Structure 1
Amino acid sequence: MQHRTLMPEIKRYLTENDAFRFSGTMELVYLKTSGDFYFYLLKDLASEPYLLKVAAKASVDSGLGNEYKVLRYLDDCSHTPNAYHYDHVPEGFDRDVLLMEYIPDEELDYTADYLKVAQIFGSIHRHGAELELPRLDDPLGLCLIRGKDNLKDALSSGVFQVDHLYFFDGFTEWAEEHLDRKRRTFQGVEPVICHGPFEMEDFTMQSPGYLYNWEGAYLGDAAIDITRFLARTTSLMEADVILRAIDREDFYFRWETTMGLEKSSLRERVNAYMPYYLFELFSSLARYYYDHAKPGAHELESLQYEKLQRYLDIEFMQSCLAEYI
């Protein structure tokens, strides 16, 4: 395993770098691999432990520079970890390295912790966006472009039945027809720091609750983060969970209270973005299914296949969209 063979190099980098001072015995413990990163627990017996995040790919811009910039900007936010040191492909060690605060994992319980998550997002979004990051100005249009690209080869491949062709054709037509009107919902809204695509494991609910993994951060509408969390599909891979309307209203209220707002247009923006987010999501899954179903492709494992079948069930997709279109 590469994460283990890297450990001697990491230890050498740490001990030879003047930025690190170890007053006790240094110990490095592998924690996990997530996405394009290896995570290690860095222990100094004379101080608190640290989290070391290392790019899995050598000599590339991994996004850790962006993450460091975001975490330093959010330094006084109680819901993001402190970032202490960043090296971009340092001499003698050809991978990006980020040293940050270590916070023990406490798994997110979607139905029990959703108000804590509203507070986490509100606390982050209220910091504004006075830093240089990529900016997403047309989230709906981008979802439509990506979705159509996903479907370009998949639908004409013969892999899908007629019902799926009708569904995606009708969904595409609706998305194109309503795009300009839905876009107007976002006019005049100030951008915030958006996390980007997240997994449930990016949260740790160790009090007061934290959101990790900011390498994909950009400037955009707060509704993007909120939609992705509230979407039924967020939790489907673990359990088919959807918040009740009253729970979602409590979520919006907690976010607004944390933001210092009496009332906002967040609900309307989430309602406008949701079907476009789902269009991109469902189409990406259709493409994934096609990529593994075409001749010569690597077959899906049975569990993956079952989950994809569940996502791409016509009645399920229609039920996800019923409230929004």
Structure 2
Amino acid sequence: MLKDKLIPQINEYLKNSEVKKLLGLTDNVNVKFLAQGEYNINFALYDYGKKYVFRVNTGSQLEIDNQIRYEYNAIKSLERSGVTPKAYYVDDTKSFFNYGILIMEYLDGRPLDYGKDLNKAAEIFANIHSLELSEEDRSTFIVEDNVFTERILESRRLLKDFFISDKISKELKNFFHKFLNWAEKNRYKEKYFIENKWHVINNTEVNSHNFIIGEDESYLIDWEKPVISDPCQDLTQFLSPTTTLWKTDYVLNEEERKEFFKTYVKDLRGEDNNIRERVELYTPYLYLRALSWCAYAYLEYLNPNKDIKNMDTFNTIKEYLDINFMEKLLKEYL
């Protein structure tokens, strides 16, 4: 597997005097596999009490040429929030590895528990969404003004091969055609977000395992594809069953959602601009993104040359693409 091949390469790479000097590493650094996503593999570096995360990027969901530099710049911009990791080193030359490299802070803690940590998550979101955006931020991050249009364009891109594949049933193709037609028909409602603009930095991948819950401090990690856009992007995704069911068997009830919004609004450094209404409007477009990505990823997993394969993820993808699951999820809209 790729992660096993990378460990000896990382050991060799860390002998580079620039990296060693910057991080204060010795020749006895220990490299261990930590975790992997769909487009990144993470390793822990241990060296006499020092700990770092060594991140290897294998692809880009944003379809940008320099994914690792985008992520590094985003993390550097977010350090002022106090609830995201620090970035120490980036190598986007691909002169040693065939992949982009990022070295960042190792944060101790556990994944978020929806039953215990909703208020902590709300506080983290409020902290990040309260950051005052600079011109540098607007040049660093992708900016999305038309949130419905962006989701439709993104989904059409993700579904392009899905619609022409002979490995996909006609029933599934018809379902996504119907969903896209609904999304186009209702796209005019995005004028609300244009006329009532509220821009913040969004993570866009806020599942439970992208939170680190510590004894004293908690954090939001994995800034692979952040954008500047309406805060409904992150909050809708965080609260959605397509997210809560991804790594856990949990669906939030209405009381939990109310408590989450209450804490979020209380901790905002600024005015609440009807966040609940924004989330309600955006919800079906979040579903469009989530399910379209599953359709795209399903075909990727059928490719024997895919660099990273998480079989638990593949099984969840297949569950989400079940017609009954999708129809139940979208019964209010389709």
Shift of 1:194: 1.4
Shift of 1:153: 6.0
Is the partner of 2:116 in helix, strand or coil? helix
Residue 203 in structure 1 maps to residue 211 in structure 2: yes
1:94-243 aligned within 5 A? 96-130=100-134, 131=137, 132=139, 133-151=141-159, 154=162, 159-160=168-169, 162=171, 164=172, 167-206=175-214, 207-243=216-252
Return the alpha-carbon distance in structure 2 between the equivalents of residues 8 and 107 of structure 1: 28
Return the alpha-carbon distance in structure 2 between the equivalents of residues 224 and 309 of structure 1: 24
Return the alpha-carbon distance in structure 2 between the equivalents of residues 66 and 238 of structure 1: 26
Return the alpha-carbon distance in structure 1 between the equivalents of residues 276 and 82 of structure 2: 25
Return the alpha-carbon distance in structure 1 between the equivalents of residues 205 and 125 of structure 2: 14
Scaled by the length of structure 1, the TM-score of the pair is: 0.80
Unaligned runs of 5+ in 1: none
Alignment RMSD: 3.7
* 2:44–2:52 CA contact under 8 A, matched in 1: yes
Return the alpha-carbon distance in structure 1 between the equivalents of residues 235 and 300 of structure 2: 30
* 2:207–2:246 CA contact under 8 A, matched in 1: no
* 2:145–2:194 CA contact under 8 A, matched in 1: no
Structure 1 residues 111, 161: closer, same or farther in 2, change over 3 A? farther
* 2:212–2:219 CA contact under 8 A, matched in 1: yes
Shift of 1:233: 0.7
Return the alpha-carbon distance in structure 1 between the equivalents of residues 123 and 275 of structure 2: 14
AA partner of residue 5 (structure 2): Q
Which has the higher mean CA deviation after the structures are superposed, 134-143 or 68-77?
68-77
Correspondence for 1:267: 276
Return the alpha-carbon distance in structure 1 between the equivalents of residues 18 and 173 of structure 2: 59
Residue 64 in structure 1 maps to residue 64 in structure 2: no
Which has the higher mean CA deviation after the structures are superposed, 113-122 or 164-173?
164-173
- Who wins on radius of gyration, i.e. which is larger? 1
Question: Which of 8, 31, 37 pairs up with 1:5?
Answer: 8
Structure 1 residues 81, 49: closer, same or farther in 2, change over 3 A? same
Question: Could you tell me the percent identity over the aligned residues?
Answer: 25
Is the partner of 1:98 in helix, strand or coil? strand
AA partner of residue 67 (structure 1): E
Structure 1 residues 179, 84: closer, same or farther in 2, change over 3 A? same
* 1:62–1:215 CA contact under 8 A, matched in 2: no
AA partner of residue 203 (structure 2): H
Shift of 1:120: 0.9
1:26-37 aligned within 5 A? 26-35=28-37, 36-37=39-40
Structure 1 residues 218, 155: closer, same or farther in 2, change over 3 A? closer
AA partner of residue 115 (structure 1): N
* 1:140–1:273 CA contact under 8 A, matched in 2: yes
AA partner of residue 248 (structure 1): R
